[in-house]
Amino acid sequence: MRERKYFIETFGCQMNEHDSEVIAGIMEGAGYSAATSIDEADIILFNTCCVRESAEQRILGRISRAGALKKRRPELVIGVGGCMVQYPEGRQRIKTRCPYVDFTFDTTALERLPEILAHHGIPVGCLVGEAIQPKRKSSLCAFVTITYGCDNFCSYCIVPYVRGPQKSRRPEEVIDEVRRLGERGYKEVTLLGQNVNAYGRDFNPTSAGKDWDFGDLLLELDKVPGIERIRYTTSHPRDFQERFIEITARSKKVCEHFHLPVQAGSNKVLRLMNRGYTKEGYLRLVEKIRELIPSASVTTDLIVGFPGEDDRDFEDTMDLVEKVRFDAAFTFMYSPRSGTAAATLPDQVALDVKKKRLERLIRVQNEIAKQINEAQKGKVLEVLVEGPSERDPKMLSGRTRTNKMVHFPGPENLTGHLVNVLITDAPGHTLRGEMTNRATI
15 contact choice in ligand F3S, ligand SAH, ligand SF4, none (CB below 5 to 8 Å, kind-dependent): ligand F3S
What does 83 bind: ligand F3S, ligand SAH, ligand SF4, none (CB cut-off 5 to 8 Å by kind)?
A: ligand F3S
Among 41, 43, 78, 83, binds ligand F3S (CB under 6 A): 83
Q: Which of 258, 237, 262 is nearest to 316 (CA)?
A: 262
- Point out which span in 43-51, 227-235, 402-410, 432-440 binds ligand F3S (CB under 6 A): 43-51
DSSP H helices in 293-324 = 311-324
Find out whether 298 and 262 touch, Cβ atoms under 8 Å: no
- Pick 16 or 402: Cβ nearer ligand F3S: 16
Is residue 154 at the binding interface for ligand F3S, with CB under 6 A as the rule?
no
Residue 429 is given by DSSP the state T
* CA distances for 29 relative to 33, 174, 366, angstroms: 9, 22, 45
d(CA 343, CA 338): 6
| Dist CA 48 CA 60 (whole Å) | 10
Find the length of the chain.
441
Residue 93 within binding range of ligand F3S, rule CB under 6 A: no
Is residue 203 involved in binding ligand SAH (CB under 6 A)? Answer: no
Determine contact, residues 158/86, Cβ cutoff 8 Å: no
Binds 113: which of ligand SF4, ligand F3S, ligand SAH, none (CB < 5-8 Å by kind): none
CA 68 to chain CA centroid, Å, is 30
| Sheet strands side by side (includes 188-192) | 141-145, 188-192, 229-233
For ligand SF4, the closer of residues 10 and 340 by Cβ is 340
| 60 contributes a contact to ligand SAH by CB under 6 A | no
Residue 387: strand pairing partners:
397
Q: Site residues for ligand SAH, window 168-197 (CB under 6 A)? A: 194-195
Apex 358 CA angle, 357 and 360, nearest 5: 65
In the list ligand SF4, ligand SAH, ligand F3S, none, the entry touching 331 (Cβ below 5 to 8 angstroms by class) is none
Those residues with Cβ within 8 angstroms of residue 179's Cβ, 6 or more apart along the chain or in another chain: 224, 225
Is residue 10 a contact point for ligand SAH (CB under 6 A)?
A: no
320 touches which of ligand SAH, ligand SF4, ligand F3S, none (CB within 5 to 8 A by kind)?
A: none
Binding mask 217-236 for ligand SAH (x = CB under 6 A): -----------------x-x
For ligand SF4, what does the binding mask look like between residues 214 and 253, x meaning CB under 6 A? ----------------------x-----------------
Judged by CB under 6 A, which of 78, 98, 144, 159 binds ligand F3S?
A: 159
**Do residues 103 and 120 lie in contact, with contact meaning Cβ atoms separated by under 8 Å?**
yes
Using the minimum distance from each CB to ligand SF4, give the nearer residue, 238 or 377. 238
The closest alpha carbon to 78, from 52, 45, 49, belongs to 45
Whole-angstrom distance, CA of residue 357 vs CA of residue 366: 14
Q: Which of residues 4-33 bind ligand F3S (CB under 6 A)?
A: 12-13, 15-16
Report the DSSP beta bridge partners of residue 45: 8, 79
Does residue 49 touch ligand F3S according to CB under 6 A?
A: yes
Question: Which of 362, 353, 356, 361 lies closest to 308, judged by CA?
Answer: 353
C-beta closer to ligand SF4: residue 341 or 353 = 341
Which among ligand F3S, ligand SAH, ligand SF4, none contacts residue 397 (Cβ within 5 to 8 A by kind)? none
> Contact positions toward ligand F3S, by CB under 6 A?
12-13, 15-16, 49-51, 83, 159, 162-163
> Contact positions toward ligand SF4, by CB under 6 A?
150, 152-154, 157, 159-160, 194-195, 236
